[in-house]
Amino acid sequence: MNRRDFLKLALGSIAVGATVGLRSPVYAAENPPVVLCLGWDAMDYRSATQLLNAGKLPNLGQLNLHRLLAWPGNTVTKPGWAEIETGLPIPVTGITANNNFDSKILGEWTIYGLLRKAYPNCWLSTIHSKKDHTGDRIVNNKKEPFYFLKEWALGGGMDRYVSPSTLQLTASLTIARTRVSLLEHINSYLQSGKTGGLIFAHFKEPDEFGHLYGMGSSQWNNSVVRLDQILGEAVALLNPDSIFVISDHGYDDFGLKQHNNAPLGIIASNVPLKDDGIRCDFPPTLLVLTGITPDGSTPALYGKSLLL
């Protein structure tokens, strides 16, 4: 099945939702824009649209909302975020599934490494909230997906890097703890004297509540409302040039507690984007937005820019 056929099969007749965007990025050629990217794990496009229509997500409602399809990998966490943060397909990353992985990802291959190469003095920070997603520990004698990212980041590749292990925690970060780290990163950037860069924060919600209570449950909806409030708080403090809210996949359907066949993730931005991108499209989108030509990257990026 080619990509076009897959898109038709996955999307069916679901309508595209869009709202009014914020200001377009303007920045000097020698500096990248200030980019804020929040990852909402497993946020389903249908749930986002439902909550937007109900007026529950006023901050997300300021962005242009689109589907981001979980393709070509499967609809689970490890392949999803590996594709979003590298733009590389499974044969290159070595991340086939949650329980089938042997990471080949180097820090230099990620969006952070590519930005650091182009802009040595820009700000780079990330927060990975899931203990099994962050690459902090060895499981079944195999390295976690972002094991080498942590090593590279703490070795000077990034200005800030937070994961459960860096905070000496054995559990994933709660939404409250991830929020605290996000605001800390923003304040550190504002005090750093640096101009431009990327602040990325992955939240394990609403996925956690989907597995426990089902997509669309009151617990799920409340967590998404809280994420929207944090989005507004972060934007007000940082005043970024560009904003992205992104998810790795969706859920099988409302009321269900699994995402075995759940390609309908989201990408929302104040920047106009093309519809129906795939997860590997995010890195080239970010690179083009920051003035970097993704062609010629090694390894070669799989996706294409979604910028209009």
Q: Supply the pLDDT for residue 135.
A: 57
Q: What is the pLDDT of residue 6?
A: 32
Strand order in the sheet with 123-127: 160-162, 123-127, 197-206, 34-41, 242-246, 264-269, 64-69, 277-278
More confident residue, 124 or 71: 124
- Per the DSSP assignment, residues forming a β-bridge with 101 are 95
Pairing assessment for the beta strands 34-41 and 197-206 based on DSSP bridges: parallel
Of 20-34, 124-138, 205-219, 220-234, the poorest mean pLDDT is in 20-34
pLDDT higher than 90, residue 20: no
Q: Are 60 and 266 in contact (CB under 8 A)?
A: no
Of 26-35, 60-69, 176-185, 237-246, the range with the lowest mean pLDDT is: 26-35
Q: What is the pLDDT of residue 196?
A: 97
Confirm whether 15 is domain-assigned. no
pLDDT at 11 over 80: no
Q: Say if residue 200's pLDDT is above 80.
A: yes
Find the CATH number of the domain harbouring 227: 3.40.720.10
60 phi/psi in degrees, rounded to 5: -60, -30
Q: 64 pLDDT band (50/70/90 cuts)? A: very high
Check pLDDT > 80 for residue 57.
yes
Looking at residues 56-66, what average pLDDT do you find? 98
Which of 84-93, 135-144, 157-166, 183-192 has the weakest average pLDDT? 135-144
Is residue 152 one of the residues assigned to a domain? yes
pLDDT number for residue 102:
84
Tally of domains within the chain: 1
* Contact assessment for residue 247 and residue 68, using Cβ atoms and an 8 Å cutoff: yes
pLDDT score of 47 = 98
Better-predicted residue by pLDDT, 286 or 276: 286
Range of the domain at 222: 30-289
Residue 44 counted as domain residue: yes
Pairing of strands 123-127, 264-269: unpaired
25 occurs within a structural domain: no
**Mean pLDDT, the chain, whole residue set:** 88
33: its two tokens: 């824009």
Q: Is residue 253 part of a domain?
A: yes
Average pLDDT over residues 257-267: 97
Taking 50 as the threshold, does the pLDDT of residue 22 lie above it? Answer: no
Residue 296 lies in a domain: no
Residue with the bigger pLDDT between 22 and 229: it is 229
In this predicted structure, what is the pLDDT of residue 161? Answer: 95
In 3D space, the residue among 204, 214, 197, 219 whose CA is nearest the CA of residue 291 turns out to be 197
In-domain check, residue 38: yes
Is the pLDDT reported for residue 18 higher than 60?
no
Each residue of 119-175: pLDDT tens digit? 999 999 999 999 876 656 655 555 666 778 888 999 999 999 999 888 988 889 999
With helix as H, strand as E and coil as C, how does the chain read? Answer: CCHHHHHHHHHCCCCCCCCCCCCCCCCCCCCCCEEEEEEEECCCHHHHHHHHHCCCCCCHHHCEEEEEECCCCCCCHHHHHHHHHHCCCHHHHCEEECCEECCCCCHHHCHHHHHHHHCCCCEEEEECCCCCCCCCCEECCEECCCHHHHHHHHHHHCCEEECCCCCCCCCCCCHHHHHHHHHHHHHHHHHHCCCCEEEEEEEEEEHHHHHHHCCCCHHHHHHHHHHHHHHHHHHHHHCCCEEEEECCCCCCCCCCCCCCCCCEEEEEECCCECCCEEHHHHHHHHHHHCCCCCCCCCCCCCCCCCEC
Look at residue 146 in the predicted model and tell me its pLDDT. 75
pLDDT band at 101 (very low <50, low <70, confident <90, very high): confident
- What's the confidence (pLDDT) of residue 14? 31
Q: What is the mean pLDDT of residues 174-178?
A: 97
Q: Does residue 21 lie within any of the structural domains?
A: no
Q: What percent of the chain has pLDDT over 90?
A: 72
Question: What is the percent of the chain where pLDDT is above 70?
Answer: 86
pLDDT attached to residue 98:
84
